[in-house]
Structure 1
Amino acid sequence: MLFASQSFLVVFLPLVLGLYYAVSGSRAARQGVVIAASLVFYGLWDWRFVPFLLGMVGFNQMVAMAWGCWRRREWLWLGIAGNLLVLGGFKYADWLAGCLVSLTGGIHMPWPVVLPLGLSFFVFQKISYLVDLGRGQARVYRLADFLEFVTFFPQLVAGPIVRHNELIWQFDASPRGAMMWENIGRGSLLLLVGLGKKVGLADTLGSMCTPVFDAAHMGHAPDMAAAWLAAVAYMLQIYFDFSGYSDMAIGMALMMGIRLPFNFNAPYRAVSVRDFWRRWHMTLSRFLRDYIYIPLGGNRCAPLRQVANVMVTMGLAGLWHGAGWTFVLWGLLHGAALAVAHVWTRTGRVMPRWGGRVLTLAFVLLTWVVFRAADLPTAGRMLAGIGGAQGIGAASVRHPVVLGLALLVALVGPSSQEAVLERMRPAPWLAVAGGMAFVLLLFLMGGRPPEPFIYFQF
């Protein structure tokens, strides 16, 4: 079931919220509603994977209990290895087999593997929990609490990547507190903003860039105008698509009295690549920092070792996004840019903010082309088109208003969380405008096939 669908917004979510508040006085009843709703939500995508999800939760719970009883790190290593083995088997085994077959000159027939929805996200959650157990920063939770944490439906399939100590304790408090109506109001408004990003902007921008990338994949190199338009449209699409999902997830959780960590903070206003990663997919960035980069040595080592740490971390970040050389290259390019930024910082030189912002935006745009391309030859054709190898051309903009609005919001406007949670004040006109916008977006969703969120594939 998709967040941006009429069935979810009109039937599922109101029903869950009604049940949740109806039993709000009982911790056990609230927990039962959340777990049941989350399993139904996941099962409506594919019921065959509900036992898999429960099995993953049970495996990690048993590992945690074994650690609690015997305090032997072998249990934690077993749990981490088991999670990585599951992730590798579903996500990377077929790709690695294809790479090996291609090296021998053979032809690989893809395996019929279906990637469980949200696998990368909830595997990272479990790994962070097991690592925190070993660090003495977590305790062994009850099975019901751990199950509720992992399956909590707003963040189950595409994040934010929430840590145990950010979420589990919040489930204990009743949502019927002094902040109830403000939480419901601001949460619903944030949900509406995320829905508008997805349905009103991202899906329309996708229709502008997808034909160009598909044609490049078929061997047709675009001219400069078409390539630039597709690159800009995709840069905006992936931002509004993923930040829209995050807004909806954070908004829904807030409507239940739960605060999830923010995931985006106007990333296209970054003045450096380091600043970009402080603003883009922030919960992934901190996971990479705390569980990969710092354990490797971080920046507390010689310059060459620091460069290696950055490259390994970002290479793994790219691979986490997908089994393909384009993702690996994307991660390594960002790793190289971060390494250059560290070296630049050591020199003590300072770049003007406008210069840093222009260079960062250009770098991010070009690397998004690599990220979006189906393979490296496609990326090469798109980048060649951007460089003018096929002439300048004259692309026609199908949705100039949407493109202009998206550019304005992404480059100038505040982050949605800042706007909704800090700047906006309750007002009747806001409620009326929000209701009208919600109805218009529902009609818009009903008039075209639903588009899955981009990060569902990761």
Structure 2
Amino acid sequence: MLFNSEIFILLFVPATLLVYYRLAAHNRPRQWCLIAASLLFYGYWDIRFLPLLFGSAVGNWLLLRWFARSGGGAGMHRSLPLIAVLFNLLLIGIFKYADFVAGTLAVVGLWSDEPIGIILPLGISFYTFQQISYAVDLHRAARDGKAVSVHGFREYLLFVSFFPQLVAGPIVRHNEIIPQFRLDPRRPGLEERLARGGMLFLVGLGKKVLIADVAARIGSPMFNRVLEGGTLNLGEAWLATYAYFLQLYFDFSGYSDMAIGLGLMFGFLLPINFNAPYRATSIQDFWRRWHMTLSRFLRDYLYIPFGGNRGGILVQMRNSFLTMLLGGLWHGAAWSYVVWGGAHGLAVGINGLWRHLGLRMPALLGWFCTMGFVAASWILFRTEDFAATWSIYQSWFGLHGRGGTTIDSPLILSALIAGGIAAFAGPTSQKFILDQLRPSRWVGLFAALALVGMILLIGGGLQSEFIYFQF
């Protein structure tokens, strides 16, 4: 079920909170309550996804439990975390990349043109990454001579399946979340956690419903026209670019706000995933602010193992390129994502070389260049088609006509203006809600009215899946 659906907001969340807090005094029952709710949430999409999620968790836990009981590295048992990593890669390789590989082989005549047709399970990229991080951390602890242990199956399954961040992150590490499962949710600060978590959820819902989905109403028809073989004039191309620029940010950061808010309502603090990325003044700065938990994963489990900052600037550039190339492939099983990731890897490497040479750039110019590159790369990210992307690039310079366009809807115009202000100025939603917002009856009244209004919009058909669900 969608976070931005009536059944989730009006039934699932209140019922889960009610049962969870009725069981608050009992650690095991309340954890099983969250597991049951998470599996219900996940199975609601497609019951066929559940066996893979559950089987993946069981397989990983058994391998890592075996490793821990062996003392963490005696004989053949030393390779068990690696086997767990390969097990995860095999699952994601089959279910996410089988058709991509088959299609690529078909191009060169090594496979039939008929797709394999494997359904992509929702959130598989996220929950496999979390389990890979668990296995690698366990291996590193054993390598460093530390005592290794694996959490019980109940806590491990909750770590993998916790519904707020199951299908689109944030990507959470076991040492960040599992210790919190044991905390009494009624501990001091309960009212504040519920209130601030609810407000952050509401802000995230507003980002999705009032900005992202509204921006999509003007941007998507233009992108679809190009994908169907049409063209855009100069004004349309820039409007479509700006609309998607906002749509993607507010769609994904809205989801992250909702996930973090939900976690807080249950008493858990999830890691921040966005920190005003559209204010970045370099591409390296951008990736420190955008999808921060993915950037952290890529750094710790790819970039550093590749060699990280060791070996000189050219080696660092190579490592950055390979890391972002694989990061692009993680986003989607298509060559367009590989090229998108490679472009960002090249940009990150050039940024590193620029700094290594001691060169400087005015902050405003750096911001302009960074946002220009990001906006250009989002076109390929959106179309997943090289010809359509090239056509829109041409339209940027008026090669398909220098005409303009108009925005007839006040709602769309307001969303584009408000989205730009929120993206480029003012405090981030997490900082404002979690640190700066002060309790007030008027704030509560406004929040209640806003929630009612957005539920009415959702009921009227203004809802869609989150973009990152496809990854």
Q: Does the pair score TM above 0.5? A: yes
Q: Which amino acid aligns with 2:388?
A: T
Matches within 5 A, 1:334-373: 334-373=344-383
Matches within 5 A, 1:36-435: 36-70=36-70, 71=73, 72-104=77-109, 108-136=113-141, 139-397=149-407, 398=409, 399-435=412-448
- Percent identity over the alignment is 46
Say which is worse superposed, 176-185 or 108-117, in terms of deviation: 108-117
Q: 1:228 to 1:294 in 2, by over 3 A?
A: same
> Cα deviation per residue 1:169-203 (whole Å; 9 max; x = unaligned)?
00101111111000000000000000000111111
The answer to whether the 8 A contact 1:325-1:376 is kept is: no
The answer to whether the 8 A contact 1:324-1:375 is kept is: no
Gaps of 5+ in 2: none
TM-score, length of structure 1 as denominator length: 0.98
CA deviation after TM superposition for structure 1 residue 373, in Å: 1.0
Counterpart of 1:47 in 2: which secondary structure?
Answer: coil
CA distance in 1 between partners of 2:65 and 2:111 (Å):
46
CA distance in 2 between partners of 1:119 and 1:106 (Å):
26
> Cα deviation per residue 1:60-88 (whole Å; 9 max; x = unaligned)?
00110121123223211111111101101
CA distance in 1 between partners of 2:116 and 2:450 (Å):
44
Counterpart of 2:48 in 1: which secondary structure?
Answer: helix
CA deviation after TM superposition for structure 1 residue 223, in Å: 1.3
Structure 1 residue ranges (4+ consecutive) displaced by more than 6 angstroms after TM superposition:
none
CA deviation after TM superposition for structure 1 residue 102, in Å: 1.2
CA distance in 1 between partners of 2:387 and 2:101 (Å):
19
Q: 1:118 to 1:181 in 2, by over 3 A?
A: same
CA deviation after TM superposition for structure 1 residue 307, in Å: 1.2
Q: 1:259 to 1:378 in 2, by over 3 A?
A: same
The answer to whether the 8 A contact 1:187-1:250 is kept is: yes
CA distance in 1 between partners of 2:284 and 2:66 (Å):
39
Q: Which amino acid aligns with 1:370?
A: L
From 434, 452, 455, give the equivalent of 2:465. 452
CA deviation after TM superposition for structure 1 residue 449, in Å: 5.6
CA distance in 2 between partners of 1:389 and 1:286 (Å):
40
CA distance in 2 between partners of 1:181 and 1:438 (Å):
19
CA distance in 2 between partners of 1:86 and 1:442 (Å):
37
The answer to whether the 8 A contact 1:192-1:248 is kept is: yes
CA distance in 1 between partners of 2:225 and 2:384 (Å):
11
Aligned length: 458
The answer to whether the 8 A contact 1:319-1:328 is kept is: yes
CA distance in 1 between partners of 2:240 and 2:112 (Å):
32
The answer to whether the 8 A contact 1:270-1:279 is kept is: yes
CA distance in 2 between partners of 1:306 and 1:268 (Å):
25
CA distance in 2 between partners of 1:82 and 1:341 (Å):
35
The answer to whether the 8 A contact 1:189-1:420 is kept is: yes
CA deviation after TM superposition for structure 1 residue 112, in Å: 2.1
CA distance in 2 between partners of 1:90 and 1:30 (Å):
32
Counterpart of 1:189 in 2: which secondary structure?
Answer: helix
Q: Which amino acid aligns with 2:357?
A: T
Gaps of 5+ in 1: none
> Cα deviation per residue 1:236-264 (whole Å; 9 max; x = unaligned)?
10100000000000001101110000000
The answer to whether the 8 A contact 1:121-1:158 is kept is: yes
CA distance in 2 between partners of 1:450 and 1:353 (Å):
38
